[in-house]
Amino acid sequence: MPIASMTIELRIARAHSLKDRRQVVRSLKEKLAHGFNISIAELDEVVTWQSATIGIVAISSSRDYLSGQMQQIESAVTRIISDFGAQIADIWWHFIEES
């Protein structure tokens, strides 16, 4: 059964405090979890207020479904974070196949 794993590195230019950073990350996680059947978590410790790394994992019996879902998630992330003046610094995803 295929598993898709996505890592998103964010730059949060408008964050001037830890509270600002948390608001962006929390909002992103809540909106994605509500809109998609995924697991989502913050992957890094707070190094700076203006960056964050988010991990997303999804599982399905269809690799094609997962591919489409990852593309939809990427579009949703771009929309959601633009409201906060943040941007994607890097994003990548891959499949993990069970043998």
The rounded mean pLDDT for the chain is 91
Confidence check: pLDDT of 94 > 70: yes
For residue 41, the SS3 value is: strand
For residue 17, the SS3 value is: coil
Q: What is the pLDDT of residues 58-77, one digit of tens each?
A: 999 999 999 999 999 999 99
Give pLDDT, residue 98: 65
Give pLDDT, residue 84: 87
Say if residues 27 and 84 touch (Cβ distance below 8 Å). Answer: yes
Give pLDDT, residue 99: 52
> What are the structural domain ranges in the chain?
3-96
Tell me the pTM. 0.88
The domain covering 3-96 belongs, at the CATH homologous superfamily level, to TT1725-like (3.30.70.1120)
